[in-house]
Every structure is written in structure tokens, then in C-alpha cells.
Amino acid sequence: MKIIIHGGFFSESDQSHEVKIEKQNSLKKIAKQSFEFLQSHSAEETVVHAVKLLEDDLLYNAGMGSQIQSDGKIRMSASLMNGQTQKFSGVINIENVKNPIEVAQVLMKEDDRVLGGNGAKIYATENGFEDFSTEIPQRRKEYEEKLKTGGKGTVGCVALDREGRLSAATSTGGKGFELVGRISDSATVAGNFANEFCAVSCTGVGEDIVSNATAAKIVIRVTDGFSIKDAVEKTFYELKEIDGFAGAIAIDKNGNIAHQDSHPTMVFASYDGENFEVFE
């Protein structure tokens, strides 16, 4: 059993050393809690659990920490993929729910598994999700500072359970100040993808990740016989050719873990029940 999570990027130029320590401690705590959850739950259930914890943490750009778009509203996207069933579900630009990843999880039972905008919100309401504003009081003040401070980054989790099943989940609050209607990578197979061989979650600039088909490329290469290390390295070499900005976390069916970023530093943590690896 293995688990790895990410929470976007950290920049020394616009975030303090104290914030860095907070993120390291937060990621270690969430990775440990999620690994413990994995002991008695499936990979799919675990990645949802971990991403929900990340969505509830104001340090990250998802759920409660989501950025504000150019019209002053918060819209969130999240997706889930089960490597065993090959089912993908997600919500795009959903408003006024606390945990978009939970809506994506419920959508797994539907034939129509990716919903956007008002349709996603209607579905969430019909399935018992309460109306919830993720705009905490200071978010409106931060709205005026977003262009100067930069984004905090998407969150995600990849897990391998005791049955050898892989799953990936990713959630984002957008990049901040984006055009209304902009769609990120997080609820696409470019940003979140899994099969029986490998699972990947990405963070970074959505347009770059989509252009590079980052998550899907890594998984397909592992499926075709690449080592996970080589699959990640080749995909990021191709990303570099378009000057892409991204980070990725991945686990293969044998429990090998990989992570890479094109513009350091992606914040991540992995835990195997004994040892942590945390970004520095």
C-alpha cells in the first residue's frame, strides 16, 4: 500500500518560510491520516478522503482555499479516476459546495459522469449536498492581492491499496482572475488519470498540462512498458519543449512512486506506513 499527495507549488519569492513549514506539516499529517484510512478502504475511497482533507485546508487552492475568478466568483473543478474500473468522473466550474471531490465521487454511479457549471450544482443539490460558500471573509480582501501574490496550486492524491488497485483524484480552485468559463486540466485525463498499471495527478498551469496530455501520457507509457521513472522523465522533457509549468505525482502497480516538477517547488508528501518523503 502506498500513498502520495500534492498541494500545488511553493515559491520563496511570494510565500514565507513559515508558510513552507505549515505546508510540510500539513501534508505529512494528511498523508499519514490518509494512509491509515487506506488500511481498511479502497484506493478510490482513499484518494477522495485525502483530497477532501486538502480541500478543507486553507493552505491550498481547492475547496475552502479556492481562488476568485475575474468576475469575483469562486468556481471549482475536481475529478476522480478508478484504475481498475477505468471510470472517470468529475465536476467542472461548480459553485457553492464545500467539497467538489465528493460530488465527483457520487457521479461515479451515473452514465453521465462529468458535469459542468449550473448542471453540476443542480446535481449536487439533488444528491443532498448543502449550499455552501467557500468564500471565507479574508478571501475578498485577498482578491485584490491575487495578481501580486500568485496562486497556491491544485491538490491531488494517488493511492495503491492492498488489493493492488490504483486510483487518482485531483481538485482545484482555478488559477485566479481567469476568464469566466475557463476549464482547467483537473477534471480532464490530462490532469488526472489511472489504469491498472499506473495512476497520476497533476498540478500547475492547466493549459500546459492539457497541451502536453501529461497524466495520460505517463500512464500510457507505463502501460506500454516504460518504468515509472522513465515515463515521467520523458513526459516532462516534452513539457519542457513547450516551456510548460507542471508537477506530477504517480504510483505504478508495483508500488513504485515518482514525482517531478518543471518549475520547483511542487509541494508533496508520500507515506508508506514507516517513512515520509516531503518536499524541501
Residues with a known catalytic role: 154
CA distance 193 to 250: 10
DSSP 8-state assignment for residue 164: S
* CB contact at 8 A, 176 and 69: yes
Q: How far is CA 267 from CA 153, 191, 203, 279, in A?
A: 9, 16, 10, 5
Residue 102 β-bridge partners: none
With vertex at residue 267, the alpha carbon angle to CA 150 and CA 88, rounded to the nearest 5 degrees, is 95
Instruction: Could you list the residues known to form a binding site for substrate, using ranges.
Output: 182-185, 203-206
Task: Pick the closest to residue 166 from 195, 208, 206, 132 (CA basis).
Answer: 195
CA distance 134 to 64: 5
